[in-house]
Amino acid sequence: MKTWILTHRFTLARRVVQLSILGLYMAANAYGFMLLSGNLSSSLVMGTIPLADPFAVLQMFAAGVLVGMDVLLGALIILLFYMVVGGRAFCSWVCPMNLVTDAANWTRKFFLLDRAVERKIWLSRNVRYWVLGLSIILSLTMGVAAFEMLSPIGMLHRGLIFGMGMGGAALLCIFLFDLFAVKHGWCGHICPLGGFYSLVGRLSLVRVKHDHTVCTSCMKCKEVCPEKHVLGIVSKSSGAIVSGECTNCGRCVEVCESHALFFGVRNYINTNVGEKE
Amino acid sequence: MSNHATQQITARRKFLTLMAQSVGFSALGGMVWSGYIAEAKAAPLILRPPGAVAEVDFLRLCIKCGQCVEACPYDTLNLAKPGDNKPLGTPFFNPREVPCYMCTDIPCVPVCPTGALDEHAVSRVVEGKKELDITKARMGLAVVDVESCIAFWGIQCDACYRACPIMDSAISLEYRRNERTGKHAYLVPIVNSTMCTGCGLCERACVTEKAAIHVLPLEVAKGAIGGHYIKGWDASDEKRLETQSSDVTTRTKRSEKSAQDYLNADEEVFK
C-alpha cells in the first residue's frame, strides 16, 4: 500500500487538484460558495480576481470581438501561470477530460488491449496543431468561437456544474475512441487546447528533469508516459524534458525507481549541454 | 521522360506531400465542422437573459462561463446542454418553466465578463447617475394566440394581465361588447410591443393547456415599418422627416426613357 501511494503520489495529487477545482465550481453554482465561480472558460476567484481561458479568448478575437478588460486580464493571468508551470500542466492537473481519457487508458491497460490489437491505427500527434489552426480559421470565417461550439471539455465541465444533457454521449464516444481506436487519442493527438498549451509551455520554468548517470534504462517511464516521444533523452543524456507536449503529470517521476527523473526548474542557459547542471 | 522508379524522394518532396495531405484532411474536417457550426448558430427561437446584445454578436461575445446562470436567484437561466438544440453552452430561459422575475438589481447582467450582456441596454440616466432599469430589457415579445385565449371566448381570465410586472403598460385589458350574449363584455389582453420586456411571467401564468400567450424572440415576433411611413399626427414621429434623405428613386433599365419621352416618341406619326 505504501509503495503504491509512493508510485502514485503525483497521480493522487492530480486527482485531488482536478476534483477540488471541479468541486469549487460546483459549490459556487449549487450553494453560492463563491471561492471559485464560473467555469474553466471564465471565472472569478473570491468574486474579484478574473481568470479566463486564453484559447477561448483567442478564438473570440478571431471571431471579431474585443472582449472586456476583465477577460483579457484573466486570460493573461492564466497564460503567464502556465508559461511558468508548463502549459500542459493544465491538461494533467486541471482539465476534467483527463479523468475520462485516463480511465480509458486504464481500461485499455487492464484488458491488455495494446498487445491484443494487431493492426494499430496510426494518427499523427501533430493533428492537434492542425485542429488548432482550423479552429482559429473557422472562428474567423464563421464569426463565432469555433472550438467552443463543440468542445467536449466544455461539455463535460459545464455538464458537471450546470447539467449534462446529452453530453454524456459525446464523452462516451471519446472514451471508446481512446479505449479501442487510438491510445491517448483525444488528449495526445487531437485536442487543440492541448496543442495550444503545448505552444504556451515551450519555454516553461517547471520541467521534469533527467539524470542519465543514475538511469538504469528500465524504460518504465516510457511505459507510463502519455506523450512518450518527449522522453527522448532518457538514458542518453541529462537535462530537462524540453518538449512543450510534456504535460508535467509526474507519472514518469513517480515510477522511476532510481530517481533519475525529478521535477525541477529549467536551466535556460545550458539546457542540453553538459552531463549535469 | 524521367524514370519515376529511380527518381529520388527528396526531403522537400516529403515535406510538400505531408503539407498537402494535412491540408486535404483539414479541408474535409473544416467543411464538416463549419457545417455543424452553421447549423448550431441557426437557432433563432431562443430567449436570452436581459441586456443581451443582438444574437449574432451575442454568439461572438458569450464565453459560456455561466456567471449569469449562477447569479440568477430564481434559477431562470440555463446553459444550453447538448441535446437542447441550442448553441452549446449559451444561457437561455424557458418562460413556461421559469420566467424572468425582473429583479430590479438585475444580478445576471453586471457579472457578465465579456459584455455579451450589456449593462447600458438595461440602464437609464437619472439625475446624471446611471441606474439599472429592468423595464428597459427586451428579451422577447409576448404574443397572444387569440383562438386559444379564453378571454377572447368571453370567459373572464386576466391571468396574464395580473401576472405582468408592468401591468397596464405592457399588457392592458381592452373591453369589448360581447355580441353573442348581448349583455357581457370581453376583457381581452392586448400586448404593447414597445413596453413588453419578454420576461414571460404571462406565459407562465396562462391557464390554457399550452400557453395562449407566449414569448417569442424579438427578431421573430416583430415587424419593421421602414422609412416610408411616418405618422403625420405624431410630432415626434414627424421629426424623422428631418433625418430622412430625399425621396427614394428606383432606377431600372426602363428609367432611361421618361414617361413623356415614351409618349412622344412616335410624334412624327401624327404630323
3-state secondary structure B99-129: CCCCCCCCCCCCCCCCCCECHHHHEEEECCE
To test the contact with chain B by mutation, choose from A26, A33, A42 the residue with the greatest count of B C-beta atoms within 10 A, namely A42
User: Does one domain contain both A49 and A140?
Assistant: yes
- Is A272 a domain residue? no
pLDDT score of A274: 44
- Is A276 a domain residue? no
Mean pLDDT of B86-94: 93
pLDDT score of A17: 96
Task: Find all residues with CB under 8 Å of A66, minimum gap 6, and list them.
Answer: none
Task: Check if B27 contacts A (Cβ < 8 Å).
Answer: no
- Is B11 a domain residue? no
- The total number of structural domains that make up chain A: 2
User: Does one domain contain both A148 and A22?
Assistant: yes
User: Does one domain contain both A59 and A178?
Assistant: yes
User: Does one domain contain both A20 and A50?
Assistant: yes
Q: The domain spanning residue B122 has which CATH number? A: 3.30.70
Which of A199, A215, A242 corresponds to the end of one domain? A199
Instruction: Test B113 with A50 for CB contact under 8 angstroms.
Output: yes
Task: Give the model's confidence band at A277: pLDDT under 50 very low, under 70 low, under 90 confident, else very high.
Answer: very low
Nearest neighbour of B70 by CB, restricted to A37, A144, A146? A37
**Mean pLDDT, chain A, as a whole number?**
90
Which of A199, A217, A248 corresponds to the end of one domain? A199
pLDDT score of B247: 64
User: Does one domain contain both A184 and A90?
Assistant: yes
Residue with cell 440555463: B78
Which of A199, A220, A239 corresponds to the end of one domain? A199
Evaluated on CA atoms B242, B244, B245, B249, the torsion sign reads negative
Which of A62, A59, A39, A61 is closest to A51 using CA atoms? A39
pLDDT score of A115: 83
User: Does one domain contain both A195 and A249?
Assistant: no
Contacts of A64 in chain B (CB under 8 A): 60
B52 vs B271 pLDDT, higher one = B52
- Is B212 a domain residue? yes
pLDDT at A6 over 80: yes
User: Does one domain contain both B123 and B153?
Assistant: no
Mean pLDDT of A193-203: 93
Contacts of A166 in chain B (CB under 8 A): 81-83
Residue A115 contacts residue B10 (beta carbons within 8 Å)? no
Instruction: Test B29 with A134 for CB contact under 8 angstroms.
Output: yes
Task: Find all residues with CB under 8 Å of A270, minimum gap 6, and list them.
Answer: A277
Which of B136, B170, B195 corresponds to the end of one domain? B136
pLDDT digits over B92-140, tens only?
999 999 999 999 999 999 999 999 999 999 999 888 888 999 999 999 9
Which of B136, B159, B191 corresponds to the end of one domain? B136
Nearest neighbour of B64 by CB, restricted to A138, A154, A164? A154
Q: The domain spanning residue B165 has which CATH number? A: 3.30.70.20
Task: Find all residues with CB under 8 Å of B67, minimum gap 6, and list them.
Answer: A37, A38, A42, A43, A44, B111, B112, B113
**B75 to chain A, minimum CA–CA distance in Å?**
10
Can you give the residue range of the structural domain that contains B212? 141-220
pTM to 2 decimal places: 0.85
Contacts of B83 in chain A (CB under 8 A): 165-167
State the Cα–Cα distance between residues A81 and A86, nearest whole angstrom: 8
Contacts of B30 in chain A (CB under 8 A): 134, 137-138
pLDDT digits over A129-182, tens only?
999 999 999 999 999 999 999 999 999 999 998 888 888 899 999 999 999 999
Which of A100, A166, A225 is closest to B85 using CA atoms? A166
pLDDT score of A189: 94
ipTM: 0.86
DSSP structure string for B73-106: TT---EEPPTTS-SSTT-EE--TTTS-----TT-
Instruction: Test B81 with A64 for CB contact under 8 angstroms.
Output: no
User: Does one domain contain both A169 and A259?
Assistant: no
User: Does one domain contain both A28 and A108?
Assistant: yes
Contacts of A146 in chain B (CB under 8 A): 33-34, 37
Nearest neighbour of A42 by CB, restricted to B25, B65, B87? B65
Residue A11 contacts residue A252 (beta carbons within 8 Å)? no
Instruction: Test A38 with B33 for CB contact under 8 angstroms.
Output: no
Instruction: Test B66 with A162 for CB contact under 8 angstroms.
Output: yes
Which of B136, B157, B187 corresponds to the end of one domain? B136
pLDDT digits over B159-218, tens only?
999 999 999 999 999 999 999 999 999 999 999 999 999 999 999 999 999 999 999 999
Task: Check if A33 contacts B (Cβ < 8 Å).
Answer: no
User: Does one domain contain both A149 and A237?
Assistant: no
Can you give the residue range of the structural domain that contains A137? 2-199
Residue B191 contacts residue B170 (beta carbons within 8 Å)? yes
For B79, the closest chain A residue by CA position comes to A162
Q: Where are the alpha helices (DSSP H) in chain B?
A: 11-41, 55-61, 67-71, 159-163, 201-205, 218-221, 235-238, 240-243, 259-264
**B81 to chain A, minimum CA–CA distance in Å?**
5
To test the contact with chain A by mutation, choose from B26, B55, B60 the residue with the greatest count of A C-beta atoms within 10 A, namely B60
pLDDT score of B1: 52
Helix-, strand-, coil-residue percentages of chain B, each rounded to 5 = 35, 15, 50
- Is A10 a domain residue? yes
- Is A176 a domain residue? yes
- Is A20 a domain residue? yes
pLDDT score of B265: 63
pLDDT at B246 over 90: no
Residue with cell 420576461: B199
To test the contact with chain B by mutation, choose from A29, A39, A189, A193 the residue with the greatest count of B C-beta atoms within 10 A, namely A39
Instruction: Test A148 with B64 for CB contact under 8 angstroms.
Output: yes
User: Does one domain contain both A156 and A249?
Assistant: no
Roughly how many angstroms between the first and final C-alpha of chain A, as a whole number? 35
- Is B209 a domain residue? yes
Task: Check if A193 contacts B (Cβ < 8 Å).
Answer: no
Nearest 10 degrees: CA dihedral of A225, A226, A232, A234? -10
pLDDT at B271 over 60: no
- The total number of structural domains that make up chain B: 2
- Is A236 a domain residue? yes
- Is A271 a domain residue? no
Task: Check if B113 contacts A (Cβ < 8 Å).
Answer: yes
To test the contact with chain A by mutation, choose from B22, B31, B64 the residue with the greatest count of A C-beta atoms within 10 A, namely B64
B106 vs A31 pLDDT, higher one = B106
Which of A14-18, A248-252, B239-243 is the least confident region?
Answer: B239-243
- Is A229 a domain residue? yes
Mean pLDDT of A59-75: 90
What region does A204 belong to: left with phi over 0, alpha with psi -120 to 50, or beta?
A: beta
User: Does one domain contain both B200 and B213?
Assistant: yes
User: Does one domain contain both B109 and B70?
Assistant: yes
Secondary structure of residue B131 in the 3-state scheme: strand
Q: The domain spanning residue A215 has which CATH number? A: 3.30.70
Task: Check if B34 contacts A (Cβ < 8 Å).
Answer: yes
- Is B37 a domain residue? no
Task: Give the model's confidence band at B263: pLDDT under 50 very low, under 70 low, under 90 confident, else very high.
Answer: low
pLDDT at B144 over 90: yes
Task: Give the model's confidence band at B225: pLDDT under 50 very low, under 70 low, under 90 confident, else very high.
Answer: confident
Nearest neighbour of B81 by CB, restricted to A43, A63, A166? A166
User: Does one domain contain both A48 and A123?
Assistant: yes
Q: Which three cell numbers stand for residue A245?
A: 507536449
User: Does one domain contain both A214 and A195?
Assistant: no
pLDDT score of B51: 93
